[in-house]
Amino acid sequence: MFEINGKYENRKGKYTVLEINDPKMLVRFDDGTEAELRIELQARIWENIAAEIEAKEAKKITRAASGVSTNQHFIQCISLPDVEELTFPGWPEKVIIARRPGDVETVKKGDRVIIYLIEPQVFYAVATITSDPVEKNPKDFFYNIEQEQAYFFSFDIDAEAQSMETAVSIDAVELESYPKLAKMRLEADAYLKMSEDDFELLAELLTEVTEDDDEDEEEDEEDFEEDIED
């Protein structure tokens, strides 16, 4: 399977095969480090990665051929210094602001958004944009900014964590679109375009959290009703 000077990949990264001395081989990773790896183990890893790449490419081709919606996917960065009060401007009214001209022009009705809280570094909710941008007074939605007018999108909440403990930490996921998101200097209310695969990963995690929260609430209600009956 492996050849000298052949390029392959494992979970650490891409590498080039320098020497093959069965059952091991000497490789050099793209960052310049070298390592001796077991051929049998690396063969299984490479087969799995190659299958994942092939599946992704097939998925893209299928979408293009079937004319699937071309809605975009974004991370919207929200500043929330005080995490004790898990609320922020516009959220109760189901509107999110677009303060940068580029975002007003880029984000469209039907686009999907992951809400990311900058200070605690957690993904909080999944939302769908339901309107084109509308100009409003930010103070109508309790924004404490100097602008007298700003653009806002209405949205529907698809999934939402109920607490900081159930939100998805940046440390719990690996995003191909932003592998160093935790170290980036992020601008509040900015929209970061992301891949659909990254979006689906986060949306699935947040949906699972929401479903777990709902089940816990139902169990609490059932226990409460049983206590009353007793």
Indicate which CATH number applies to the domain containing 214.
Answer: 3.10.590.10
Domain that holds residue 130: 73-219
Residues 115 and 170 in one domain: yes
DSSP characters over 24-54: EEEEEETTS-EEEEEHHHHHHHHHHHHHHHH
Residues 173 and 207 in one domain: yes
Show Cβ contacts of residue 191 under 8 Å, excluding neighbours closer than 6 positions. 74, 75, 76, 77, 98, 100, 103, 106, 107, 113
Residues 45 and 130 in one domain: no
Residues 99 and 28 in one domain: no
Residues 153 and 77 in one domain: yes
226 assigned to some structural domain: no
Work out how many domains the chain is built from and give that number.
2
78 assigned to some structural domain: yes
Residues 113 and 170 in one domain: yes
Which residues of the chain fall short of a pLDDT of 70?
59-69, 210-230
Position 187 scores a pLDDT of 94
Query: What are 72's strand-pairing partners?
Result: none
Position 221 scores a pLDDT of 46
Residues 93 and 167 in one domain: yes
Whether the model clears a pTM of 0.95, i.e. scores above it, the answer is no
Structure confidence by residue, pLDDT tens digits, 59-91:
666 666 655 557 999 999 999 888 777 788 999
Residue indicated by tokens 């929401």: 210
Position 219 scores a pLDDT of 47
Residues 93 and 151 in one domain: yes
Distance (Å, whole) CA 210 – CA 215: 9
Position 225 scores a pLDDT of 45
156 assigned to some structural domain: yes
Task: Give the 3-state secondary structure of residue 178.
Answer: coil
Position 63 scores a pLDDT of 61
Residues 113 and 50 in one domain: no
229 assigned to some structural domain: no
Distance (Å, whole) CA 173 – CA 201: 8
Show Cβ contacts of residue 213 under 8 Å, excluding neighbours closer than 6 positions. 161, 162, 166
